[in-house]
Amino acid sequence: MNNLKTNVKRAIKQVVPAGLRRNRKISAARKALGQIERQPCRSEPLLPSSAIDLHDILHNAEKISEWESLEPKLADLMNMAPSTAQSDGNRGVNPGDQRAIYHLIRALKPKSVLEVGTNVGFSTLHIAAALDANGADGRITTVDITDVNDPTDQPWKGCAQPYAPRDMLAAGGYGDMVTFVAQNSLDYLTDCKDKFDFIFLDGSHDADVVYQEVPKAIDALAGGGVILLHDFYAGLTFLWDNKKIIPGPCIAIERLLAEGVSLEVIPLGALPWPTKGASHMTSLALMVRQ
């Protein structure tokens, strides 16, 4: 059955032009978003855009040298995960994005981080490593709709070696920094009483969900915080030669801007190191205040 589905998808790709597939995705996302009533959204808790210098963050020589020393340790820890979780077609951010997340945390120096979308825990690991390098008593709350540490139902199922993100974090010495939550993101953000300096939104990428997540995430920020978006295709354009697009986050932000919310989204664009598809492009983008 899986082979049949794969073959059907390949056949569709060969027959339907990439531009048409893109337009269909965009149309479907906008239709779903149109069913959601307007969400009140404020921007005051966000860091102003004038405080962000992406070039300095990504090209800092001291941090680059630091990363090069730390990277082998992080690679060894990720090798605990099954091979399906170590490849780029996986359920985790690609290695170039992992490094970008590390540099962002090191530069912005948050003490508290919320991650929505734990998955196999690779981004969680890099956030933890950066918080540890910052030398503060950093903490991470990572939320996923499923229990990512349940070995009967998660990505490592069927592997020779048991694996859970909790084990990987503990093996790196970061276990005490991380709180795992199994809950729908909107429910968590609605009930959240904690405040965070940095929020990474990498759960659902549906426009209707992201549109509702962003105002709630901003409300969960301490003053001067930032939100990092994943799979933000600025201008709804292709980033890689695979001609794929995930329109939801961009469409959600477009609506918030059209409604007058004083947001600014800064795509990281081309990174100084490789990401995927033989390119340096990333879909990561920082959300700040205009």
- Whether residue 33 lies inside any domain: the answer is no
- Whether residue 5 lies inside any domain: the answer is no
Query: Tell me: the pLDDT tens digits for 242-257?
Result: 888 999 999 999 999 9
Buried-exposed string 81-103: b where 16+ CB fall within 10 A, e elsewhere: bbeebbeeebbbbbbbbbbbbbb
Query: Tell me: the pLDDT tens digits for 158-204?
Result: 565 668 899 999 999 999 999 999 999 999 999 999 999 999 999 99
How much is the pLDDT for 246? 94
Beta bridge partners of 286: 228, 266
Residue type at 227 in one-letter notation: I
The rounded percent of the chain whose pLDDT value lies above 90 is 75
- Whether residue 203 lies inside any domain: the answer is yes
pTM for this one?
0.91
Query: Tell me: the pLDDT tens digits for 80-98?
Result: 887 766 544 455 689 999 9
- Name, in order, each residue with C-beta under 8 angstroms of 52's C-beta and a sequence gap of 6 or more: 226, 266, 286, 288
As for how many domains the chain has, the answer is: 1
Give the CATH number, domain containing residue 142: 3.40.50.150
240 vs 212 pLDDT, higher one: 212
- CA triplet 121, 169, 117: central angle to 5 degrees? 25
- Whether residue 110 lies inside any domain: the answer is yes
- Whether residue 182 lies inside any domain: the answer is yes
- Name, in order, each residue with C-beta under 8 angstroms of 135's C-beta and a sequence gap of 6 or more: none
Domain that holds residue 63: 40-289
- Is 186 in contact with 204 (CB distance < 8 Å)? no
